[in-house]
Amino acid sequence: MTELYFVEGNIAAGKSTFLEHLAVSMAELLGKPCIIAKEPVDIWSAPIMPDSEDDGILQLYYKSKLEYAFAFQASVIISRITQLLVLMREHPGSIIIAERSPSSGDIFARQLMTEGMLTPVQCALHNQWIRMSEEVIKTAGIIYLRVSPEKCMERIGKRGRNGESLIEASLIQDLHAFHDDYIDNMEAKGYRVLRLDGEADAMTTLPINLTRVQQFISKRPSLEL
């Protein structure tokens, strides 16, 4: 039986770096195939129309948030579900650890609604897609890499990714609160949650965090800190 785990966290929480280390260590530690699924950014960046050189939905969203917010959220949840269904079909019986779950789109939809970028009707439709995704994609566990908004902003400044220079501290603070709410709600629904402190340098906390993830996936008692 394929097991699906999701790494959640704010922008610049260190999810990608953490997944890279998981890719190296988890298969050996767990003794079974372990597939790492990063966010399908290539799909969001590719031209929407076949044989076109136009911008992808991600670039369109950056150019006009109000016009393309709903279309981008639709593309995100559809591409995540598709990616996971393909991996489940191609790797039966494996462990899949993915960067963000389809249902975590609720975090960003709620934030966009507070900005007036999504209407209540659009949010209601998005919530229907999330409920559908929870029926199709069965979550074995959630790994929450929790980092303070201040630390996220510091990392955003250091890594200098294209498009991130416009990110404001208020957005990161809002997303931090919405992430906390999302994780609490998922735990209240009965989902297994592992909270990891991602505040310190990744290499400092990596050994203990990898051990905790191994125990979490193996369903062994958590390591006391």
C-beta neighbour count of 68 within 10 angstroms:
20
Residue positions forming the annotated binding site? 9-17, 155-159
Q: Under 8 Å CB-to-CB from 27, ≥6 apart: which residues? A: 33, 34
Nearest to 21 by CA among 201, 199, 198, 209: 209
Residues marked as catalytic? 99
Residue positions forming the annotated binding site for ATP? 9-17, 155-159
CB 8 within 8 A of CB 145: yes
Q: In terms of C-beta density within 10 A (0-12 exposed, 13-18 middle, 19 or more buried), how is residue 18 classed?
A: buried
Residue 223 corresponds to which tokens in the numbers above? 């390591």
